[in-house]
Amino acid sequence: MLSKYLIEKIIATTFNIEEFNEQFNLQKVNYRTYIGLLVLPVNVLLFYNDFLSKTLLLTIISIILIINVITYFFSLKNYQNLILSKFFYFILYLCALEIAPYYFMYYWFTKS
């Protein structure tokens, strides 16, 4: 997480979009913190009980992913005007810093 943040900071400094990057990262951290607070009771329930069904686990994971996607779209909606004015940099940001790390992690897990 720290290395991803530092790479984002370097790219934002290079393209002179530091303020946008800081605001966007702050909003992502806020949403993820709220999601963590929502997931905390589920974690406590799963940790202290012996029952664990595959459907329950898949339901919890899918709910977390849905909440994460919804909050990401809220972030995009809040910064829509700023994103559209710097659309090339936003696409660069998505490809280089949001999608690529997940692709490399997927490749690493499937090949090892």
Encode the chain (112 residues) as per-residue pLDDT tens digits: 677 777 777 777 877 878 877 887 887 788 778 888 888 888 888 788 777 777 877 888 888 888 878 877 887 787 787 777 777 777 777 776 677 667 777 887 888 7
8 Å CB contact between 22 and 8: no
pLDDT of residue 6: 76
Distances (CA, A) of 100 to 10, 41, 70: 16, 32, 21
**What residue spans of the chain are helical by DSSP H?**
2-14, 18-48, 54-78, 80-85, 87-93, 100-111
Distance CA 93, CA 21 (A): 9
pLDDT of residue 79: 75
pLDDT of residue 52: 72
Burial class (CB in 10 A: 0-12, 13-18, 19+), 9: middle
pLDDT of residue 1: 67
8 Å CB contact between 75 and 28: yes
Distance CA 61, CA 66 (A): 9
